[in-house]
């Protein structure tokens, strides 16, 4: 698996990956609009009145980002408020 | 196919098969180990719906085979998972581990096909006792301790379940049928609590992240699949549509995510994600619609496969490197590339990437919440999905396989472990690409759900990509910290210490005092009974000496009195029987009767207090007379 290593250790690859990420972020948002307003209307296999935020094209993107940030910050704050203790806590 | 083929309950194949393992020699054992799940799978495959294997026990019918779509679905995945896991564990030399693992799988199948509460309870107990062996086989002190705590929780859970069953029988005229319960009565509430303990629903969950990471490498893989998923099965059958479960499940899904952020032990992090994932299933059971229940079963099916795969991956890392902490690992993709790739398939599956099985099952439950117009549940579950990808899909692989190179010398594991992981990864991907295979066996037919709609695919990709962006921005905050996290097991781990202190100090001392006091009373009684009359005299003398000491101080009289007392104690018991002439006895009797007469005549005219006063005066006078005698050195007369 040397090729994987050489490929990933190359700074150029990392840079390319970052660009790829930017591009895919934009494409995914555009696709969200496309799905909502055009090429393929949302269909969950069963007719139902969608929840209000299912109609926002980039809802998943915003929600994913916000949730991830909140999970990390709030959990760490929770952990540092006394939940995280020394590893030998129970041995004392 | 006829039902004659299915003459053996799948549970029996595993349990009897397990007991025969020690008899199989050498390499044949490995073939045998793989054969058992295959036979059991075919058994499940060819079972016809209906009720089989009914055994009369006292006045009850024990049903070992209630076969319907729901139980069959769990039967399939249990046997498939057992095969993959057995393949992964094939290199383990210790026969006992295989035996324990297969009895464990067998009892899980026993619960799934149990048609009555007694059978269910018996296999339920088997489940706990066989799985604890998988923890103990690791043979470290931490594992032994964690095993005992695990057992303690499950034994308590078993007793609660049994109590619930007995109450339920009383409520329902002795019925032990295991069908949808009419939730609300004390019996059903206790049964629910018993089930919830095994489903690891907070705050009754702490046994899971406590024990699983302490189990053996291969044992932990088995444990991820069966205990919580049998609990999901019984909840789905007994308590579908109980709203409480919907909320508990959604909270549970987030609870696991929060603790996973804090965790440094790689398998404990995954264990918290079991809680999170089972949360989806419990929530689906609470929603109770056909879509939600189908989603629950589908998700249990997917979860068993990908969670097994994830535990295999991280187990392999521990097996090959000997390290289990994020802070000690890093850069392993260079030395364990295959493990990394297979782990990532599991990670993509649990995160719900399109083309992997999490995508087609998790979304059913979330979709069911949307159909129900339950926006809060929908958002909570989506948030948990973000957390899942964040930890198992990003944080864990980043800090284990990439990130800072810890320079660990390792290589990919033995072939059987890779094959086990490969088989599981194949199943995960297969179901992701052809979801109809899974949808066709779900309990509520037809399944009106199509996962690969443009909206769903695009929405999922957005969710995952932007989670990835947030991860990249906050990656520094996510690095493992060398700590452990307090959870609800604190109450019995620290509570246990306090309990032991109470036992060792106040309680033990109190007990010792009671024993000492009782022995003193006994000794006195023995001493006293040797010569009661003389003993009484000695007691009186002792009182007299006290009185003398207080009133006279250290005088020559007191010294003489002490001498009298000492000699009297030395002479004790002496001659117990007095040899007095009859005349003396008659005289004493007369005096006694006269005194009695006086009291009889006088007493009614006196108040209680004056009687007590007279008595005190008489006693004081007696003690005074005797004290004076002792000062003069007169020996006691009573003892003669």
Lowest mean pLDDT among B233-247, B264-278, B532-546: B532-546
pLDDT score, position A45:
47
For residues B176 and B117, the answer to whether their CB atoms sit within 8 Å is: yes
Burial, B605: exposed, middle or buried (Cβ in 10 Å; 0-12, 13-18, 19+)? exposed
Q: Which residue has the higher pLDDT, B309 or B25?
A: B309
For chain A, the average pLDDT equals 80
Closest residue of chain A to B405, computed from CA coordinates: A9
How far from B472 is each of A77, B60, B354, B475, CA to CA, in Å?
19, 61, 22, 5
**Is A34 contained in some domain?**
yes
Higher pLDDT, B232 or A29: B232
Vertex B360 angle, CA B201 and B263, to 5°? 40
pLDDT at B339 over 60: yes
- Decide if A28 touches B, using CB distance below 8 A: yes
pLDDT at B297: 95
One-character DSSP codes across B320-384: HHS--BGGG---GGGT-HHHHHHHHHHHHHHHT-TTSHHHHHHHHHHHHHHHTT-HHHHHHHHHH
Mutant choice from B462, B473, B487, B496 vs A, greatest count of A C-beta within 10 A:
B462
Given a contact cutoff of 8 angstroms between Cβ atoms, the answer to whether B281 and B296 are in contact is yes
Which is nearest to B573 in space by CA: B482, B640, B502, B522? B640
- Residue of A58, A60, A84 to mutate, testing the B interface (most B Cβ within 10 Å of its Cβ): A60
Tens digit of pLDDT for each residue in B129-151? 999 999 999 999 989 999 999 99
Query: Considering only CA atoms, which of B372, B398, B401, B369 is closest in space to residue B385?
Result: B369
pLDDT in tens, B464-477: 999 999 998 888 88
Predicted TM-score (pTM) of this structure: 0.82
Residue B510 has pLDDT above 90, yes or no: yes
Task: Kindly provide the ipTM of the predicted complex, given to two decimals.
Answer: 0.88
Q: B404 contacts in A (CB within 8 Å)?
A: none
Task: Name which of A49, A51, A67 is nearest B378 (Cβ-Cβ).
Answer: A51
Question: What does the mean pLDDT of chain B come to?
Answer: 89
Is residue A45 in some structural domain?
A: yes
In a domain, A89, yes or no: no
Q: Spell out which residues of chain B touch residue A63, defining contact as CB-CB under 8 Å.
A: 379, 382-383, 386, 463
Q: Smallest CA–CA separation between A12 and chain B, in Å?
A: 17
pLDDT digits (tens, 9 = 90+) for B561-595: 888 888 888 888 777 666 667 888 888 899 999 98
Beta-carbon separation of A64 and B370 below 8 A: no
Residue A58 backbone phi and psi in degrees, to 5: -110, 25
Query: Given A40, A63, A64, which is nearest B454 (Cβ)?
Result: A40
Report the candidate in B216, B267, B217 with the shortest Cα–Cα distance to residue B420.
B217
The token pair that represents B299 in the structure block: 């998700």
Mean pLDDT, rounded, for B106-132: 93
Task: State the nearest Cα–Cα gap between A51 and chain B, in angstroms.
Answer: 6
Q: Assign A50 a pLDDT band (cuts: 50, 70, 90).
A: low
Query: What's the average model confidence in pLDDT over B352-376?
Result: 91
- Give the model confidence (pLDDT) of A53-76 as tens digits: 777 788 889 999 999 999 999 999
To the nearest whole Å, the CA of A16 is away from the closest chain B CA by 15
Q: Quote the pLDDT of residue B488.
A: 85
B217 within 8 A of B291, measured Cβ to Cβ: no
For residue A31, being part of any structural domain is answered with yes
- Asked if A17 has any chain B CB less than 8 Å from its own CB, the reply is no
Residues 6 or more apart whose CB falls under 8 angstroms from that of B453 comprise A40, A42, A43, A44, A45
In a domain? residue A41 = yes
Cα angle: B425, vertex B430, B433; to 5 degrees: 125
Choose the weakest-confidence range: A33-47, B322-336, B575-589. A33-47
Least confident of A22-26, B229-233, B532-536: B532-536
What is the per-residue pLDDT for B591? 92
CB nearest to A51's CB, from B259, B370, B386: B370
CA separation for the pair A45, B452 (Å, rounded): 10
Biggest CA pair distance of chain A: 64
Tokens representing residue B241 in the block: 């549509």
pLDDT band at B556 (very low <50, low <70, confident <90, very high): confident
CB pairs under 8 A between A and B: 172
Would you place residue B636 in the very low, low, confident or very high pLDDT band (cuts 50, 70, 90)?
Answer: low
Chain B 428-487, residues with CB within 8 Å of chain A CB atoms: 448-450, 453-456, 458-471, 473-474, 477-478, 481-486
C-beta of residue B523 within 8 angstroms of C-beta of residue B242: no
- Which A residues, 37 through 76, put their C-beta within 8 Å of a C-beta on chain B? 39-40, 42-46, 48-54, 58-65, 67-69, 71-76
**N-to-C CA span, chain A:** 45
Return the pLDDT at B389. 93
Average confidence (pLDDT) over B541-569: 80
- Point out which residues pair with B54 in neighbouring strands: B63
Whether A14 is covered by a domain: the verdict is: yes
What is the span of the domain harbouring residue A17? 7-84
* Angle (deg, nearest 10), helices B117-136 and B217-238: 160
Q: By percentage, how much of chain B surpasses pLDDT 90?
A: 55
Distance of CA B527 to the CA centre of its chain: 53
Lowest-confidence region among B20-34, B112-126, B431-445, B552-566 = B552-566
Is residue A46 a part of any domain in this protein? yes
CB contact under 8 A, A75 and B448: no
Token pair recorded at residue A73? 């910050």
Is B230 strand, coil or helix? Answer: helix
Do B390 and A52 lie within an 8 Å CB cutoff?
A: no
Which residue of B407, B455, B457, B482 is the best one to mutate when testing the A interface, meaning the one whose CB has the most A CBs within 10 A?
B455
Question: DSSP state, B21?
Answer: G
Tokens of B11: 């549970």
CB-CB under 8 Å, A4 with B458: no
pLDDT of residue A39: 62
Nearest to B258 among A24, A29, A78 (CB): A78
> If we measure between CA atoms, which residue out of B461, B439, B459, B460 comes closest to residue B450?
B439
Residue B35 has pLDDT above 80, yes or no: yes
Q: A23 touching B, CB under 8 A? A: no
Residue A23 within a domain? yes
Are A42 and B453 inside 8 Å of each other by CB?
Answer: yes
Question: Which residues sit opposite B67 in a β-bridge?
Answer: B50
Q: Which residues from B are below 8 Å from A78, CB to CB?
A: 258, 262
B224 Cα distance to chain centroid: 16
> Angle, to 10 degrees, between the axis of helix B357-371 and the axis of helix B375-388?
160
Q: What pLDDT shows up at residue B584? A: 80
Look at residue A44 and tell me whether its pLDDT is greater than 80. Answer: no
Return the closest-CA partner of residue B318 out of B269, B265, B276.
B265
pLDDT at B640: 41
């Amino acid at each position: 698996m040397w090729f994987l290593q050489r490929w990933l250790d190359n700074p150029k690859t990392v840079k390319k990956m970052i660009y790829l990420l930017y591009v895919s972020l934009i494409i995914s948002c555009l696709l969200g609009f496309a799905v909502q307003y055009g090429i393929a209307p949302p269909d969950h296999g069963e007719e139902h009145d969608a929840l209000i935020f299912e109609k926002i094209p980039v809802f998943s993107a915003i929600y994913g980002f916000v949730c991830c940030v909140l999970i990390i910050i709030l959990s760490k704050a929770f952990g540092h408020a006394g939940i995280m203790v020394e590893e030998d806590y129970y041995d004392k | 196919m006829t039902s004659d083929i299915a003459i053996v309950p799948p549970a029996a194949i595993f349990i009897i098969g397990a007991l025969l393992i020690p008899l199989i020699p050498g390499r044949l054992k490995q073939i045998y180990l793989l054969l058992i799940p295959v036979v059991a799978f075919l058994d499940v495959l060819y079972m016809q719906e209906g009720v089989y294997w009914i055994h009369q026990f006292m006045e009850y019918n024990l049903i070992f085979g209630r076969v319907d779509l729901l139980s069959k679905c769990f039967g399939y995945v249990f046997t498939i998972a057992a095969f993959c896991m057995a393949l992964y564990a094939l290199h383990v030399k210790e026969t006992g581990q295989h035996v324990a693992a297969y009895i464990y799988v067998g009892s899980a199948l026993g619960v799934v096909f149990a048609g009555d509460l007694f059978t269910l309870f018996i296999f339920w107990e088997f489940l706990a006792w066989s799985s604890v062996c998988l923890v103990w086989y690791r043979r470290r002190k931490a594992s032994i301790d964690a095993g005992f705590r695990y057992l303690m929780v499950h034994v308590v859970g078993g007793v609660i379940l049994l109590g619930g069953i007995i109450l339920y029988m009383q409520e329902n005229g002795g019925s032990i049928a295991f069908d949808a319960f009419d939730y609300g009565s004390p019996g059903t509430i206790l049964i629910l609590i018993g089930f919830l303990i095994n489903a690891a629903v907070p705050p009754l969950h702490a046994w899971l992240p406590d024990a699983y990471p302490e189990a053996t490498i291969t044992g932990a893989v088995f444990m991820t699949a069966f205990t919580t998923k049998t609990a999901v099965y019984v909840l789905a059958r007994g308590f579908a549509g109980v709203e409480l479960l919907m909320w508990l499940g959604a909270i549970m899904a987030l609870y696991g995510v929060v603790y996973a952020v804090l965790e440094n032990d790689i398998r404990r992090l995954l264990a918290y994600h079991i809680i999170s994932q089972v949360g989806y299933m419990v929530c689906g059971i609470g929603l109770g619609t056909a879509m939600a229940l189908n989603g629950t079963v589908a998700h249990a099916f997917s979860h068993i496969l990908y969670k097994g795969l994830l535990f295999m991956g991280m187990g392999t890392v521990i097996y090959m490197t000997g390290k289990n902490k994020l802070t000690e690992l890093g850069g392993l993709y260079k030395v364990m590339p295959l493990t990394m790739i297979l782990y990532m398939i599991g990670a993509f599956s649990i995160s719900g990437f399109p083309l992997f099985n999490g995508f087609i099952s998790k979304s059913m439950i979330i979709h069911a919440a949307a159909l129900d117009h339950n926006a809060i549940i929908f958002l909570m579950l989506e948030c948990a999905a973000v957390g899942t990808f964040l930890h198992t899909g990003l944080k864990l692989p980043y800090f284990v396989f990439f990130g800072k190179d810890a320079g660990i010398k390792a290589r990919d594991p033995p072939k059987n472990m890779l094959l086990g992981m490969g088989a599981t990864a194949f199943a995960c991907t297969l179901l992701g690409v052809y979801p109809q295979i899974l949808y066709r066996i779900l309990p509520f037919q037809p399944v009106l759900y199509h996962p690969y709609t443009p909206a769903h695919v695009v929405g999922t990709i957005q969710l995952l990509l932007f989670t990835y962006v947030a991860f990249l921005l906050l990656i520094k905050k996510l690095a493992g910290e060398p700590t452990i996290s307090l959870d609800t097991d604190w109450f019995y781990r620290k509570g246990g210490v306090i309990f032991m202190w109470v036992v060792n100090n106040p309680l033990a001392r109190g007990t010792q005092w009671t024993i000492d006091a009782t022995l003193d009373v006994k000794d006195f009684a023995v001493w006293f009974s040797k010569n009661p009359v003389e003993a009484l005299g000695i007691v009186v003398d002792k009182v007299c000496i006290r009185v003398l000491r207080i009133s006279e101080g250290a005088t020559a009289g007191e010294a003489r009195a002490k001498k009298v007392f000492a000699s009297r104690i030395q002479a004790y018991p002496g001659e117990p029987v007095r040899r007095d002439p009859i005349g003396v006895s008659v005289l004493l009797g007369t005096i006694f009767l006269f005194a009695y007469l006086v009291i009889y005549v006088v007493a009614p005219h006196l108040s209680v207090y004056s009687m007590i006063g007279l008595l005190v005066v008489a006693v004081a006078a007696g003690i005074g007379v005797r004290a004076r005698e002792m000062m003069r050195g007169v020996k006691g007369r009573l003892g003669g």
